Amino acid sequence: MSAAQAVRAVVRGHVQGVGFRDATVRRARGLGVMGWVRNGDDGELLVHAEGTAEAVRELEAFLREGPRGAHVEDVAVERVKVEGHEQFAVRGVPAGGFVVRQLARGFELTLEVDGAVRAWSVPKGPSMDPADKRFAVAAVATDAGQVWDAGPYEQGGRVPWPEALDRGHAVFVLHGERLRGGFALQRAGRGWLLVKRRDEYAQAGRLA
């Protein structure tokens, strides 16, 4: 991306439940802008946009107007560092559900990916300690055992899914009861490593 710049925008007003996020995705992709957009907890729309100065300015202008049905009261914009996204609306977008089951021997992690279920056997189970890398093996989902944790998750990173998994490094954010925050699956030889990312939920020495 040549001459790229990046901004973060917080759009306030009547901006949720009116198709604003989807409209922003369409406009950003049409402009060739990379980044993400998501609904905030306080009713606002949060946007990270990076691209040429002209494209980013055009997206900012769209955010100040919004789609039909929206009422924009304020748009706060700040310049930020370019993160190097490869497309728009990968990070921070709900991707489906995850389930961790406790089996007779170890644990099983399943993720909804592109309309299908992908599974990994994790013998020692997940950990909330970033230093504790857990070996995992791609498997066939069993739907057996006891549900140990479950909830929605977001696909993350700079590479779109399922390509990220095909490349061997996939970042995601779990919103469970026991497992929260960022994780990564990284290919290691014939298997994988399940690693907790360093964020506000990480706890050294804590085994989930």
Q: Which of 39, 57, 158, 178 is the catalytic position?
A: 39
HEC secondary structure over the chain: CCCEEEEEEEEEEECCCCCHHHHHHHHHHHHCCEEEEEECCCCCEEEEEEEEHHHHHHHHHHHHHCCCCCEEEEEEEEEECCCCCCCECCCCEEEEEEEEEECCCCEEEEEEECCEEEEEEECCCCCCCCCCCEEEEEECCCCCCEEEEEEEEEECCCCCCCHHHHHCEEEEEEECCCCEEEEEEEEECCEEEEEECCCCCCCCCCCC
Does residue 190 have an active-site annotation?
no
Q: Is-catalytic flag, 21?
A: yes
**Catalytic center residues:** 21, 39
